[in-house]
Structure 1
């Protein structure tokens, strides 16, 4: 594995934990959601990490911000999809306690990075 600077960022570490929680939550979803909600959640979680990593490698401030904003947009997608899963009674509020913490934390850190640069 490459020893790149983004791997030392707290936001990147937090985004990986968020991704892990998404994968655990997806195991609670009904089998018929395997190719719908579950796949969408996983894709968005991977996008958070990937866009953060790619943005960190950009030299241009404008490009970095754009990738960080895409990463934060994926968190908003996750938030919406989790709300739908609760509405549809696929999961419950207690199921997502850890995930909620990671969503909020990652969103705040990314917002700080976007506003700082």
Structure 2
């Protein structure tokens, strides 16, 4: 693995940025834009993924960083749950749901893999 010098180098953060961009794009459309509560909540959850990765990285310690990564991973799960609400409420269609759900899953998987990598580095 290449040396990570900035949080922007973290693949999970890059994917979280993509997720956030897509969530904002989707929530600006049609009826979704009018559902202020869900729109704001899903946006906050997506932003939380990016923010927690960055904040944990900047704090400097692996143990604390892994804690922030766990929060970020949880926020990716929160996005997935809110996508079900949006689908069930008719705010997004099945294709949008599938695309965003896949992106949120991919983001969570990258974060989880990074957490395992950091844990092994500490144990090894």
The offset of 1:98, in angstroms, is 3.4
Q: Does 1:33 align with 2:41?
A: no
Provide the residue aligned with 1:79 in structure 2.
80
Write out aligned runs for 1:8-23 (5 A): 8-23=9-24
Provide the residue aligned with 2:122 in structure 1.
none
Q: Higher helix share goes to which structure?
A: 2
Q: CA RMSD in A?
A: 1.6
Is the radius of gyration larger for structure 1 or structure 2? 2
Partners of 1:21 and 1:98 within 8 A in 2: no
Provide the residue aligned with 1:58 in structure 2.
59
Q: Distance in 1 between matches of 2:13 and 2:74?
A: 15
Partners of 1:28 and 1:91 within 8 A in 2: no
Q: Report the number of matched residues.
A: 113
Q: Distance in 2 between matches of 1:108 and 1:95?
A: 20
- Residue ranges of structure 1 left out of the alignment (5+ in a row): none
Q: Distance in 1 between matches of 2:71 and 2:30?
A: 26
Deviations along 1:36-56, one digit per CA (max 9) or x if unpaired, are: 000001111111100011111
Q: TM-score, normalised by structure 2?
A: 0.82
SS in 2 for 1:14: helix
Q: Distance in 2 between matches of 1:90 and 1:68?
A: 30
Provide the residue aligned with 1:47 in structure 2.
48
- Residue ranges of structure 2 left out of the alignment (5+ in a row): 119-124
Q: TM-score, normalised by structure 1?
A: 0.87
Deviations along 1:61-108, one digit per CA (max 9) or x if unpaired, are: 220011001101111110000011111111111123432332121111
